[in-house]
Structure 1
Amino acid sequence: MDQLKSENQNLSRGLKNRHVQLLAIGGAIGTGLFLGSGRSIHLAGPSILFAYMITGIICFFIMRALGELLLSNLNYHSFVDFVYDYLGERAAFITGWTYWFCWISLAMADVTAAGLYIQYWFPNIANWVPSLIILVILLIMNLTAVKLFGEMEFWFALIKVVAILALIIIGTFMVIKGFSTDAGAASFTNLWSHGGMFPKGATGFILSFQMVVFAFTGIELVGLTAGETEDPERVIPKAINNIPIRIIIFYVGALFIIMSIYPWTSINPDKSPFVQVFSAVGIAAAASIVNFVVLTSAASACNSGIFSTSRMVYSLAKEGNAPESMNKLTSNQIPANATMFSAIVILISVILNYIMPEGVFVLITSISTFCFIFIWAIIVICHLKYRKTNPELAAKNKFKMPLYPIMNYIILAFLAFVIITLAFNNETRVALFVTPIWFIMLAVIYKMLKSKAKSREVLKRNLV
């Protein structure tokens, strides 16, 4: 039997319920919480809690729309499949490659970051060495079996969950006991006694949404697991419905406790507030602990990047929008060619790490944020089209998105609002003007590919 064979069967359904549940948690918790929350707090003060709750609610409804679409047809392996059905081939081509780029750029940044985190303990090792080792290990795991991907993400997510729960438990104890810190006594009154809940006014609150939305990018990854999940009709709804609880516990809960222990004015925006809290308790290895957690978070993001981009290329190949060789499965039902292709592109970041200015990576990840917003909007638009064109199929669906169609339009308005706020930030404003170039380029490539395909068909008919 050939190691690679044509796609005559579905992807392996090797992801179990516990894998998908932890994937849902991992997708909603990124390094933004561990490292970037200090800057978010500095920007908006305690009102950042409301920004996370609002964005969390929006993301929940986006996920409900995604879940309803995926479960309307169990032959859908990713959202590219239903984009093709409801918005056409061109939209599927642009959406698929845009989502591929989103995760490739994040994976490139995270594999580089993972190398930097390891340098914290081994400063004499060149950055590219640990980055390369991590990428190779993740590639091997992704090529072996989908359940190994699930296992890695399970443990990566579990480490993040344990770290956050530890902070919440220790922090709650500190507040109850009135623990004294270098900024005063820990107390819930610290939330409103330093300028109120909105100390930076409406401006700070509104501008905080750019960081909050970036923290949620990747939450839709659980939707890509539908084609490789045991009993998706039971597992996917459970994972999506638990998202609000997880957001309240892990994001809102953690930040609530942090700002109760320390007044928001005393939190260093350039350091992890997790380090600050653990250090206050007297844990000498606080910095190393948090460094380990963010290392696993970065490795998790890269792992998810390899998985999601390979499945996206595989789906594109099925529709003829990627090379036919990407539409092959191994005997373990893994899209090996698509997986290796994505890993090779991510490998470029290791090579360019010496010659690429840091600002380019900031630009790429900023563009990625815009692209994620585009992906979320496409999901919501497809849901609108699905409900309008297939009312009978929608009536049979047991996992409907609540408040249709009002919520669809609220989500689209929110995403437009975020894009406007991003335009006011110096670091992301440039990406706002660069992003259209990506979409124009994809449209041109699509037109060229279709012209070539049409020419080949004409040539075949003439030869016959």
Structure 2
Amino acid sequence: MSDTVTGTAAEESHHSLDAEQVGYKQSLGRRHVQMIAIGGAIGTGLFLGSASRLHSTGPALLLSYAFVGVIAYFLMRALGELVLHRATSGAFVSYMREFFGEKAAYITGWMYWLNWALTGIAELSAVGLYVQHWWPTMPTWATVLIALAVVLVVNLLSARAFGEFEFWAAVAKVGAIIIFLIVGIVVVGLRLDIGGHKAGVSNLWGNPGGFWPASGDFAWYGPILVMSGVVFAYAAIEMVGVAAGEMANPKVEVPKAVNAVIFRIAVFYCGSIFLLVSMLPTSDFKAGISPFVTIFGRMGLDWMGDLIQVVLIVAAMSSLNSGLNSTGRVLRSLGMAKQAPGFTLRMSGSGVPWAGIVFTSVVYVFGAVLNALTPDAFEIALEAAAIGVLFTWGTIFLCQLRLRQLTDRGVIPPSAFQAPGSPWTSYIGLAFLAMVVVGMAASGWKSSPYFWHKTDFVVVIIGIPVIFAILEIGWRVVRPKVVANTGDRLRAVWADDGPTYGPRVAANPDAIDGGQA
């Protein structure tokens, strides 16, 4: 194969992959990107979920957050390398299509959609509970519909409207954390009294059971097993990858956003956990009550506790906003490849894939209503959303490894923002994710004497095989359409020595045109 033919094939391959970008508006600016990156790293996992982990783990939870934070940084550097190789709103789906083929893209897309669909149901239910803090008689279904209507309107307006919402949501979340950090530093530094307990760094080892409790209700492996829950606290930092396709200047903004992640994790997560365990014994934090609300309540600042409740609602709404934004774009990427219903291709004049967004919102409504009627019906399903997070992170590491293999071979140009320490950082990330799955099964087994109440164990041992069995059946259904759409080119775009199929025919033009309806 001559250099000319190889070059032409490579150009045509990229043109085909970039077809899914048709119709999007590059309207997200620097401040939107920075705040989307911050907002993705701060959510209910910190504001609410940290309470139960502090209670069950002790001060050693600080190490859990720090270690997972390092993995999250590896993840973001891997994602940064991919984005600067090719920015696309199809994100992980598009990268899996490029490096591992159509079936891998199909599985990745629907796993990502499942993750956000189930997460959104949980967040809507959470908003209903948070609102009842002030209006106990407010029907949950009414709160669900109001919250969903707000984020649905925001997403249907434009990508910039989404960015504005996330910007101000991030401002609220970051503001609340900064206020707590300032108050906490003063209280801990001056060793002030909080509800009869003296604050101070000595609480880290003076906590009942010590820094790493291993007696009584605690187990030595607690801080290790809890890392599975910490992963989900960091979930959504990968949103920068989805937003990249609509950034005005991703080559400049993505590296800045990615490099800032490790600093934000260190300050916002590790800093907050450090101050929390320095201010009160971890046994004082209770599941279902934000540890920040507990702290301010003990200090007699109930109004600050109310402010945190507002931030909890904002965090949940931000998660819903991100879920609708990303699933709409991922569904359109799947639709372009004939792996999702054709209506998911439809876009508005402002560049919004409205059909996919509305489809996800309908699932949110039915799921939230059913969850309100039978609260236990979604318990296992919501835990299954966690598998989607792990799978998405795994695809990012795998795609970065394959990209680096190809650039090292000279098949495609190297990314302008390569991950340091590759391939080892991605190998470490994949090994960690495998450990988290094992940890979920182990902690789930120990959580209850009754089999069907061992939620995480059931999800791992039964849920994962069932999910992939359903996906396999779905692939067999859509495969004929995918074959027809691609001319039976189902394998990865790149082989070890160049484009897999040589000069490549672009996807069905009708599919692209139809996406503008």
Q: Taking structure 2 as the reference length, what is the TM-score of the superposition? A: 0.83
The Cα of 1:66 is off from its aligned counterpart by: 1.3
Does structure 2 retain, via aligned residues, the 8 Å contact 1:226–1:232? yes
Q: How does 1:149-188 map to 2 (within 5 A)?
A: 149-188=162-201
From 230, 234, 240, give the equivalent of 2:258.
240
1:81-128 residue CA offsets vs partner (Å, 9 max, x unmatched): 110011100010010011011001101111121122112212222111
From 320, 341, 362, give the equivalent of 1:323.
341
What amino acid sits opposite 2:82 in the alignment?
L
The Cα of 1:252 is off from its aligned counterpart by: 0.6
What amino acid sits opposite 2:53 in the alignment?
S
1:217-259 residue CA offsets vs partner (Å, 9 max, x unmatched): 2121111001011100111111111111000111110111111
Report percent identity of matched pairs. 35
SS in 2 for 1:348: helix
SS in 1 for 2:347: strand
Distance in 2 (CA, whole Å) between partners of 1:23 and 1:137 is 18
Change beyond 3 A, Cα 1:353–1:423: closer
SS in 2 for 1:202: coil
Find out whether 1:66 has 2:79 as its counterpart. Answer: yes
Distance in 1 (CA, whole Å) between partners of 2:330 and 2:239 is 11
Give the aligned partner of residue 474 of structure 2: 445
Does structure 2 retain, via aligned residues, the 8 Å contact 1:183–1:262? no
From 170, 189, 198, give the equivalent of 2:212.
198
SS in 2 for 1:352: helix
From 450, 463, 477, give the equivalent of 1:434.
463
The Cα of 1:338 is off from its aligned counterpart by: 1.5
The Cα of 1:339 is off from its aligned counterpart by: 1.5
Give the aligned partner of residue 382 of structure 1: 399
Distance in 2 (CA, whole Å) between partners of 1:379 and 1:206 is 23
Change beyond 3 A, Cα 1:353–1:408: closer
Q: How does 1:219-234 map to 2 (within 5 A)?
A: 219-234=237-252
Does structure 2 retain, via aligned residues, the 8 Å contact 1:47–1:198? yes
The Cα of 1:285 is off from its aligned counterpart by: 2.1
Find out whether 1:281 has 2:317 as its counterpart. Answer: no
Distance in 1 (CA, whole Å) between partners of 2:162 and 2:357 is 12
Distance in 2 (CA, whole Å) between partners of 1:283 and 1:400 is 47
The Cα of 1:193 is off from its aligned counterpart by: 1.8
The Cα of 1:368 is off from its aligned counterpart by: 0.8
Q: How does 1:356-435 map to 2 (within 5 A)?
A: 357-391=374-408, 392=410, 396-424=414-442, 425=444, 426-432=454-460, 433-435=462-464
Distance in 2 (CA, whole Å) between partners of 1:52 and 1:340 is 35
Give the aligned partner of residue 508 of structure 2: none
From 26, 33, 41, give the equivalent of 2:54.
41
Does structure 1 retain, via aligned residues, the 8 Å contact 2:125–2:372? no
- Structure 2: runs of 5 or more not aligned: 1-18, 445-453, 489-517
Of the structure 1 ranges 116-125 and 392-401, higher mean CA displacement relative to structure 2 is found in: 392-401
SS in 2 for 1:423: helix
Q: Taking structure 1 as the reference length, what is the TM-score of the superposition? A: 0.93
Distance in 2 (CA, whole Å) between partners of 1:156 and 1:455 is 44
Of the structure 1 ranges 197-206 and 421-430, higher mean CA displacement relative to structure 2 is found in: 197-206
Change beyond 3 A, Cα 1:93–1:286: same
SS in 2 for 1:46: coil
Aligned alpha-carbon RMSD (Å): 2.1
Distance in 2 (CA, whole Å) between partners of 1:258 and 1:8 is 45
What amino acid sits opposite 2:239 in the alignment?
L
Find out whether 1:115 has 2:132 as its counterpart. Answer: no
Change beyond 3 A, Cα 1:8–1:212: closer
The Cα of 1:161 is off from its aligned counterpart by: 0.8
Distance in 2 (CA, whole Å) between partners of 1:171 and 1:7 is 48
Change beyond 3 A, Cα 1:75–1:159: closer
Does structure 2 retain, via aligned residues, the 8 Å contact 1:70–1:76? no
1:297-347 residue CA offsets vs partner (Å, 9 max, x unmatched): 111111111101101101111222122332232111111112211111212
What amino acid sits opposite 1:67 in the alignment?
G
The Cα of 1:180 is off from its aligned counterpart by: 1.1
Does structure 1 retain, via aligned residues, the 8 Å contact 2:406–2:412? no
The Cα of 1:451 is off from its aligned counterpart by: 3.5
1:374-430 residue CA offsets vs partner (Å, 9 max, x unmatched): 111111111111111233366632210111111121111111111111001233111
From 348, 352, 367, give the equivalent of 2:370.
352
The Cα of 1:452 is off from its aligned counterpart by: 5.8
Give the aligned partner of residue 3 of structure 1: none
Distance in 2 (CA, whole Å) between partners of 1:354 and 1:217 is 25
Give the aligned partner of residue 295 of structure 1: 313
Distance in 1 (CA, whole Å) between partners of 2:372 and 2:130 is 17
Give the aligned partner of residue 157 of structure 2: 144
Does structure 2 retain, via aligned residues, the 8 Å contact 1:112–1:349? no
Does structure 1 retain, via aligned residues, the 8 Å contact 2:20–2:333? no
Change beyond 3 A, Cα 1:451–1:397: closer
SS in 1 for 2:59: helix
What amino acid sits opposite 1:288 in the alignment?
D
Of the structure 1 ranges 178-187 and 371-380, higher mean CA displacement relative to structure 2 is found in: 178-187
SS in 1 for 2:206: coil
Q: How does 1:83-98 map to 2 (within 5 A)?
A: 83-98=96-111
Aligned length: 452
Find out whether 1:310 has 2:315 as its counterpart. Answer: no
Give the aligned partner of residue 509 of structure 2: none
What amino acid sits opposite 1:336 in the alignment?
W
